[in-house]
Amino acid sequence: MAEPFEPKITAFVCNWCTYAGADLTGTSRIKYQSNVRVLRVPCTGRIDYMMVLKALHKGADGIIVSGCHPNDCHYTSGNYHARRRWMVFKKMMEVMGVDMRRITFSWVSAAEGARWAQLVNEVTDQVRALGPYSEFRQIVGAGIE
């Protein structure tokens, strides 16, 4: 019997809110599924959505982008830039036929340890149900490196 499918989840998180929130999840010993790999950036404003596409191309089946809640950005407004770009990115991806259930945009503050565990579990379950995202890798085509 084939092994059950375990999705790869890549999370792009900001240093000040979500990364700290995920640290709090740890300090509070709240358990969640281990499929997620966290990439730390200073701010969600740093995230170029090309990175998200690259992650999907390189084998991620689901993506989390998470930073500070509106008004809470350590850098005043980086999260607003991220949100604006996200709106455009989302529309564009929908037009291009990318399954947006694969990409989750969220906010987790430094105080929301439980929220982070919940988010990771929700995304992992959803992506597990969707199966591997080989479709995307077919769109992109093999061997572009």
Partner 1 sequence: MSRIGVFTCHCGENIGATVDCAKVAEMCKDIPGVAYSVDYKYMCSDPGQRMMQEAIKEHKLDGVVVAACSPRMHEPTFRRAVANAGVNPYMCEMANLREHCSWVHEKGEATTHKAADLIRVLVEKIKHNEPLFPIKVPVTRTAMVIGGGVGGIQVALDIANGGHKVVLVEKSPSIGGHMSQLSETFPTLDCSQCILTPRMVEAAQHPNITLMTYSEVEKVDGFIGNFKVTVRKKARKLDEKLCTGCGLCIQKCPNKKISDEFNEGLGTRTAIYVPFPQAVPNKPVIDTLNCTFYKTGKCKVCEKLCPTGAIRFEQEDELVTLDIGAIVLATGFKLMKTDVFPEYGYGKSKDIIDGMQFERLASASGPTSGVMKRPSDGKEPETVVFIACSGSRDRSKGVPYCSKICCMYTAKHAMLYKHKVHSGKAYVFYMDIRAAGKDYDEFVRRAIEEDDVKYIRGRVSKIYEEDGKLVVMGADTLMGGEPVEIRADMVVLATAVQSNEGSEELAQTLHVSYDTYGFFAEAHPKLRPVETNTAGIFLAGACQAPRDIPETVAQASGAAAKVVGLFSNDELTREPIVAVVNRLPAPAYSHCVGCFLCLSACPYQAIEQEEIKSRSGEVIKTLARINPGLCQGCGTCVATCRTKAIDLQGFSNEQIYAELMTL
Binding site for partner 1 (CB under 8 A): 6, 8, 10, 15-17, 19-20, 22-23, 25-27, 29-34, 37-43, 45-48, 51, 54-55, 58-60, 71-78, 81, 85, 109-112, 117
| CB nearer to partner 1: pick between 29 and 141 | 29
Minimum Å distance from CB 93 to partner 1? 17
CA distance 109 to 14: 10
- DSSP-derived secondary structure letter, 102: G
For the beta sheet containing 9-14, the strands, ordered from the edge strand earlier in sequence to the opposite edge, are 36-41, 9-14, 62-67, 103-107
Identity of residue 42:
P
| CB nearer to partner 1: pick between 33 and 126 | 33
Minimum Å distance from CB 27 to partner 1? 6
- DSSP-derived secondary structure letter, 9: E
Minimum Å distance from CB 6 to partner 1? 8
Minimum Å distance from CB 130 to partner 1? 17
| CB nearer to partner 1: pick between 31 and 138 | 31
